[in-house]
Amino acid sequence: MTKLQLDGDISAVVLEQAETGSVHFNWIAQKALAGMTPPAVFQRLPASPDIPAGPSLMPEHGSGFHGIAQIEAHCTATQRRVRLGRPVLEDKGSSLCVTARDAALGIEVATAFSFSGDALVVNTTLTHTGNSPIDIRRAASALLPAPDWAAEIITHSGAWGREGHEERRKWDTGRIEQLGRGGRPGFDGGPTLSLTEPAGCEIRGRWLTLHLAWSGPFTLAAERATDGSAQILAERRFAPGEIRLNPGASMALPEAMLALSGTGRNQMRTTLNTALRKTGRTLVRPVHFNTWEARYFEVDEASCIALAKDAAALGAERFVLDDGWFKGRRNDQTSLGDWTVDTAQFPNGLGPLIDAVKTACMEFGLWLEPEMVSPDSDLYRAHPDWVLGWPDAPLATGRNQLVLDLALPEVCDHLFTSIAALLDTYEIGYLKWDCNRDLYPATRDGVERPGAQTEALYSLLDRLRAAYPVEIESCASGGGRIDAGIARRTDRFWASDATDAIDRLRIQRAAGLIMPQERLGCHVGPSPNPMTGRQLPMSFRVLAAFFGHFGIEADPARFSDTERAILKRGIDLYKAHRHWMHAGQLVMASDPADDPDVQIVISDDQSRALVRIMRTDTPKRPLQPRLRLTGLDHDTCYSLVEFALEGEPVEWPLGEYSGLGLMTEGLNLDPGRALTGRLIYLERTG
């Protein structure tokens, strides 16, 4: 019996190979307990195969196992299906590898497990050294036995402007899937799926989250067989005929990332956020001003210069010129693809605006939607053959636009050159990279290759970032493309087009399960809110944006003097605390359905924290339970000060308490009125 162990910061993975060749996978939440796991045995069940075929790593069909197989593929010439042989285990020091081959066909599947902090990273590669091409119908990036305690599945659902609704379902027998067929992860949750036990909440219970680092079509699934055994799966979805491995070819499947917690969802969030931080750049997050909800398409030199001055006076540090600045673009019906400045609205180019932005000590950022083209554009008129579509069907537009076929090298070269021309001409430190429709149809000449589009997008982003020191925001009509794949080549996400502060609490919380908060743009929008019509006080709007990458997305000229003063005070506080907030960890002290919503950012060394309490509705009872904090150091004594955004004094002391006391006894605060927020600052004393 081979037994290998790999340790993360907190947990450990143990792989054991039985005499039959099956590989047991055990992930233990406390690595100190790894030695206590009993040797794995597959039980022989009545009316079942004589050689037990429970879920193992590299599972195969054809031996009585009817769950999910590692790979479904066949040899194109002979129709012979791929059949993996006995897996081989290897300890490679920082990773454990499991490899299985079909010796007759010459294809090998290799999965490497490693840890990034305490996140389990799974990389699977297919290598073909045989003589005939092999058609791959599907192949798992990560396919693991699910833990026996998993009784509920949590995914998220949503639509445009409504991202981040938690879907919690009882999981008994059968399969639950989270699918993405739209060519971008989508508003409905993206490639993430969590498992928990029935009482699992933010601060208690066992949890496991699975995420696929991939921005194209995906399948995430959890499947429990009638014998009680269960598997979890993450994989890139292949279209029919999309993947044919020729002799000598190899293919890396998208990376999967997992977190396990024995102490509530917060710990899992910390593990995933920490791993994601390591794949991104560490940046100071300047206060944004974005023109979209201030002007929509009505941007011109004079109005933008006025906005820039107003924004700078409030403390903005980066001015992002959103949609509407390029040739002929007055609405969403034209001009995508023509990435030159509109001379009617900006007769002197962008130079005067950028000068004004720089004079106001801000950086300049620009909106683009490079993957798209409007039928009414010079680009489309010159290259109608550059778009995806069926040769014999009407073009399927979405938001009046078509998708460029990025897999054509000339398309990406053209896009690189057009963007480079802007970056060479103007001082642009930031690009907001939008993508306002799904990929349909993802075909050229009837051949469907959605994955090639994602791969080409990744290469284009990599090429740009290698050539220019520009920061990039990933936006897809808001939160339509938030995943760890695109996170490696971008710096910020626009989590939703909903700037309504109440909706945003939910949306940021959901996206923040994977993404660290400093990468999630969160802006103070207008009131009434353009999407929901809701009127919310400025202080509430400021606090709702406070833990994310802060910004303003409204015309400051429409704010009252009081609102401006509140916003400015909020921005000053954000600037004073972002250096530690953005390296710290966000934990939840309330569950998603609770009111108030209570979230805490705790610094890396636990010497300080900010507690944000957002009351969205009138409390049901005048006497509320005490507010118990979480994530603090037990033995540290903290002084508590409340920051107020309005009125004087702006700070007042609430006393000194131990971390343990704050987490067990809690704070006795008044219940608060609807639509009010509080921000309490904790700092280690002595």
Q: Give the residue among 65, 223, 226 at the shortest CA–CA distance from 150.
A: 223
- Would you count residue 27 as binding ligand DGJ (CB under 6 A)? no
Interface region with ligand DGJ, contact rule CB under 6 A, candidates 89-97, 106-114, 336-344, 471-479: 471-479
- Would you count residue 478 as binding ligand DGJ (CB under 6 A)? yes
Q: Which of 310, 497, 500, 503 is catalytic?
A: 497
DSSP-assigned letters across all residues of 50-95? SS-----SS--SSSS--S--SEEEEETTT-PBP-----EEEE-SSE
Q: Are 180 and 189 in contact (CB under 8 A)?
A: no
Taking CB under 6 A as the criterion, which residues in 284-303 touch ligand DGJ? 292
Task: Take residue 34 and report the two structure tokens written for it.
Answer: 């790894």
Q: Which of 102, 322, 338, 434 is catalytic?
A: 434
668, amino acid identity: N
Task: Take residue 430 and report the two structure tokens written for it.
Answer: 């930031």
- Would you count residue 322 as binding ligand DGJ (CB under 6 A)? yes
| Least distance to ligand DGJ, CB of residue 304, Å | 15
- Would you count residue 477 as binding ligand DGJ (CB under 6 A)? yes
Among 367, 458, 550, 681, the residue binding ligand DGJ under the rule CB under 6 A is 367
- C-beta of 192 vs 477, nearer to ligand DGJ: 477
Interface region with ligand DGJ, contact rule CB under 6 A, candidates 108-116, 242-250, 300-308, 473-481: 473-481
Q: Are 189 and 158 in contact (CB under 8 A)?
A: yes
- C-beta of 140 vs 320, nearer to ligand DGJ: 320
Backbone angles phi, psi at 63, to 5 degrees: -125, 15
- C-beta of 87 vs 478, nearer to ligand DGJ: 478
- C-beta of 292 vs 638, nearer to ligand DGJ: 292
- C-beta of 135 vs 434, nearer to ligand DGJ: 434
Taking CB under 6 A as the criterion, which residues in 383-412 touch ligand DGJ? none
- Would you count residue 371 as binding ligand DGJ (CB under 6 A)? no
Instruction: State the SS3 of 632-676.
Output: CCCCCEEEEEEECCCCCCCEEEEEEEEHHHHHHCCECCCCCCCCE
- C-beta of 323 vs 471, nearer to ligand DGJ: 323
- Would you count residue 326 as binding ligand DGJ (CB under 6 A)? no
Taking CB under 6 A as the criterion, which residues in 517-576 touch ligand DGJ? none
- Would you count residue 163 as binding ligand DGJ (CB under 6 A)? no
Three-state DSSP class for 507? Answer: helix
| Least distance to ligand DGJ, CB of residue 519, Å | 16
What span, in angstroms and rounded, lies between the C-alpha atoms of 558 and 47?
A: 74
| Least distance to ligand DGJ, CB of residue 552, Å | 13
Among 475, 601, 609, 632, the residue binding ligand DGJ under the rule CB under 6 A is 475
| Least distance to ligand DGJ, CB of residue 432, Å | 6
Among 102, 471, 473, 497, the residue binding ligand DGJ under the rule CB under 6 A is 497
- C-beta of 437 vs 678, nearer to ligand DGJ: 437
What CA–CA distances, in Å, run from 6 to 15, 27, 366, 587, 625?
Answer: 9, 10, 45, 27, 43
| Least distance to ligand DGJ, CB of residue 292, Å | 5
- C-beta of 436 vs 529, nearer to ligand DGJ: 436
What CA–CA distances, in Å, run from 204 to 19, 268, 370, 418, 673?
Answer: 38, 11, 44, 51, 28
- Would you count residue 323 as binding ligand DGJ (CB under 6 A)? yes
* Buried/exposed 389-408: b ≥16 CB within 10 Å, e otherwise: beeeeeeeeeebbbbbbbbb
What span, in angstroms and rounded, lies between the C-alpha atoms of 504 and 400?
A: 28
Q: Are 669 and 627 in contact (CB under 8 A)?
A: yes
- Would you count residue 436 as binding ligand DGJ (CB under 6 A)? yes
| Least distance to ligand DGJ, CB of residue 441, Å | 22
Size of the site for ligand DGJ (CB under 6 A): 11
- C-beta of 242 vs 293, nearer to ligand DGJ: 293
| Least distance to ligand DGJ, CB of residue 267, Å | 32
Interface region with ligand DGJ, contact rule CB under 6 A, candidates 71-79, 110-118, 437-445, 475-483: 475-483
Instruction: State the SS3 of 300-352.
Output: CHHHHHHHHHHHHHHCCCEEEECCCCECCCCCCCCCCCCCCECCCCCCCCCHH
Is the peptide bond between 49 and the residue preceding it cis, with omega within 30 degrees of 0? no
Is the peptide bond between 649 and the residue preceding it cis, with omega within 30 degrees of 0? yes
Among 60, 434, 473, 503, the residue binding ligand DGJ under the rule CB under 6 A is 434
Alpha carbon distance, N-terminus to C-terminus of the chain = 54
Strands 549-552 and 520-524: parallel
| Least distance to ligand DGJ, CB of residue 604, Å | 32
Q: Answer yes or no: 561 catalytic.
A: no
Q: Are 634 and 550 in contact (CB under 8 A)?
A: no
Q: Answer yes or no: 405 catalytic.
A: no
Among 494, 547, 559, 657, the residue binding ligand DGJ under the rule CB under 6 A is 494
H or E segment to which residue 416 belongs: helix 409-425
- The residues annotated with a catalytic role in the active site are 434, 497
Which residues in this chain contact ligand DGJ in the complex, by CB under 6 A? 292, 322-323, 367, 434, 436, 475, 477-478, 494, 497
